[in-house]
Amino acid sequence: MKVLKVIPIKKPLDAEVAIPGSKSYTNRALLMAALSGNTVRIKNPLISEDTEAMIGCLRELGIACTLEDGLVTVAGGIDLVSDREYNLDANLSGTTIRFISALSALVPGTKTIHGKPRLNERPIYDLVDALRQLGASIEYLDREGYPPIRISSSELSAGVVKMKGEVSSQFLSALLMVAPRIGDVEIHIEGEQISKPYVDMTIDAMKQCGVTVVNDQYAKYRITAGAKYKMTEYVVEGDVSSASYFAAIAALTGSRITLKNMNPQSVQADMGFLTILAGMGNEITNGENEITIQGRGVRAVDVDMRGCPDQVQTLAVLSAFVSGITSISGVRSLRVKETERVAALERELAKMGVQAESTPDTLTIHGRAPRPAVIDTYWDHRMAMAFTVAGTKLEGMEIRNPDVVGKTFPDFWEKLNSIGIKTEISEREPNIVLIGMRGSGKTTIAKMLSTRLQRTSIEIDDEVVKKTGMSIADIFAHHGAEYFRNKESEVVDEMLAKENTIISTGGGTILRPHNIEQLKYNAICFWLRAPVEALVERMESDPSSSQQRPTLTDKETPEEETAEVLRQREALYQKAADEVVDTQNKNPGGIVEEVLLKLKARGINVQ
């Protein structure tokens, strides 16, 4: 696996960086071009995995899309789509699967629409429901409410549609953009509309292409019959979302960075992030097609980010460096993105020694002096780019699977290097650390993982025995617990140099915070959790267990001792764990499969 190390800058930068075209506007322009029926030249498009997914789907439908000299030319339009079967692969692009589903309800043929497994876990029910209200024939091919779907109808009827406001604004955007090909369409929003700036972006793009949307205070939208896209050329403005990482770097490091190819009057949602930075005291200056940020530092804030949820990760990383508590609301939609972004943030900030906790719609970060960590990206481009910001100030920050930025910003690392921020790439697989009580199955699972992954397996307790020439029981009997813990910590320190290794810890290794910091630096830490009765049953089935391990309390029965030790350590296991695997009523093979699935979800190679 690739691991990228970010080298902190030694002094503030004074630099310019050209920002690529907006992904959101590029995909909207591609869809509208196909709907227009004209030959449309799209200038300054973003070419990334997400936009390539949209282009690929249009091509599959027979709509010509050519890339040449920084242009995308779309020709033919939906009127030339023939009546046959189509396989439309959205890859990992949420915008593509939503937009292409709406377009597919207007064209002949049987259209099967799907993405990679992680995209198929993102709900699509509300868009399907809205399209069905207009007469679409759509079936779910697997789980109700989720891709893949099959659309067999080829036209939609004008009328009134009801949609929930609290779900993805992409559903509404998809419906708005196809509406001119339907007729008189009125969309009523139930509840409060979230992500309003993204809706504004769609309405703005449609206006640029000749279609007016009547927006009645985000509660009702209307596109009248006769509306038609009148476009032969479309210029994509710079991506504010991509620019935000450089703006954050300026704020954190006191640098002056000018963002070129930007529209200072843009209605893109992430302009709200620049407003947040300005509220922290950073200077934002607008020029002709450029925005300059003079960094003045970061401070704790209390903000609602429903309008720019894609910047929650970046703000959370900045908040790790402030002295105080940052409260972010409006994060509910992040739980159904490329990954469960809120949970991922909590885990990765914890690696940096930063406490974070959440409710369904809030995230709170307790800023302090963060420490470096190796960051898992969970196949999420924004996790990689957001935590890179920390690396410009903090020595030792590393990003696993850095190529995930290709989803929206393929040359992000090159742009970073171009302004003087150096990076180093290496190939390295993380260690897998197993923690848990005596009897939790760490030794068995470690051996099975070692065989399955062809990795070396190490037992911390065995290494202590080798180092001292004594059994664990004898060490406790002759030298005491403190001596054992010191030797254990020495072994743990030696693990820091290990790579691609399965490490099974002792039940009490987590008692010293230093041990966990060392073990987790280049590792994923799994807590094999089991209730007292299961732990006791397993220990009693191993007659050597009581002989090899010392008694740790004055309790009279194994059940009482195990319960007391678990009570003392449970919170420490929870704090140390990157992942929790409940082992009760599971066979070892099933536990191993669950560990492998969790590793794969983090972007770790488990082949």
DSSP readout, 223-276?
Answer: E-TT-----SEEEPPB-HHHHHHHHHHHHHHT-EEEEES--TT---TTHHHHHH
Q: Which of 190, 211, 235 is the last residue of a domain?
A: 235
Q: What are phi and psi of 323, to 5 degrees?
A: -95, 100
Does the residue 447 lie in any domain?
yes
Q: Are residues 49 and 92 in the same domain?
A: yes
Q: Are residues 217 and 291 in the same domain?
A: no
Q: Which of 202, 235, 268 is the last residue of a domain?
A: 235
Structural domains of the chain, count: 3
Q: Are residues 157 and 271 in the same domain?
A: no
The CA–CA distances, whole Å, from 225 to 33, 87, 181, 202 equal 19, 31, 9, 19
Q: Are residues 592 and 578 in the same domain?
A: yes
| 443 in a labelled binding site | yes
Q: Are residues 44 and 90 in the same domain?
A: yes
Does the residue 607 lie in any domain?
no
Q: Are residues 420 and 515 in the same domain?
A: no
| 244 in a labelled binding site | no
Is 239 marked active-site?
no
How is residue 505 written in tokens? Answer: 């810890």
Q: Are residues 487 and 566 in the same domain?
A: yes
> What residues contact 454, with CB distance under 8 A and at least 6 apart?
none
| 396 in a labelled binding site | no
| 95 in a labelled binding site | no
* Residue 518 near residue 460, CB atoms below 8 Å: no
Does the residue 172 lie in any domain?
yes
Q: Are residues 340 and 202 in the same domain?
A: no
d(CA 347, CA 342): 9
The conformation of residue 401, written as its DSSP 8-state character, comes to S
| 169 in a labelled binding site | yes
Does the residue 592 lie in any domain?
yes
Phi/psi region, residue 111 (left: phi>0; alpha: psi -120 to 50; beta: rest), is: beta
Does the residue 594 lie in any domain?
yes
Q: Are residues 144 and 257 in the same domain?
A: no
| 337 in a labelled binding site | yes
Q: Are residues 291 and 194 in the same domain?
A: no
List, for residues 116-137, the tens digit of each pLDDT value.
988 998 999 999 999 999 999 9
How is residue 396 written in tokens? Answer: 């030792």
List, for residues 471-526, the tens digit of each pLDDT value.
998 999 999 999 999 999 999 988 877 888 999 999 999 999 888 888 877 789 99
Q: Are residues 393 and 459 in the same domain?
A: no
Q: Which of 427, 459, 475 is the last residue of a domain?
A: 427
Phi/psi region, residue 418 (left: phi>0; alpha: psi -120 to 50; beta: rest), is: alpha
Does the residue 606 lie in any domain?
no
Q: Are residues 403 and 458 in the same domain?
A: no
Determine the pLDDT at residue 545: 53
| 444 in a labelled binding site | yes
Is residue 546 classed exposed, middle or buried when 0-12, 13-18 and 19+ CB atoms within 10 A define those classes? middle
| 133 in a labelled binding site | no
- Of 89, 126, 239, 310, catalytic: 310
Does the residue 136 lie in any domain?
yes
Written as one letter, the residue type at 426 is: S
Band of pLDDT at residue 538, cut at 50, 70 and 90 = confident
CATH code at position 536: 3.40.50.300
**Pairing mode of beta strands 362-367, 324-329:** antiparallel
| 507 in a labelled binding site | yes
List, for residues 260-289, the tens digit of each pLDDT value.
999 999 999 999 999 999 999 999 999 999
The whole-model pTM stands at: 0.78
Band of pLDDT at residue 543, cut at 50, 70 and 90 = low
**Structural domain boundaries, residue 70:** 23-235
CATH code at position 138: 3.65.10.10
Does the residue 158 lie in any domain?
yes
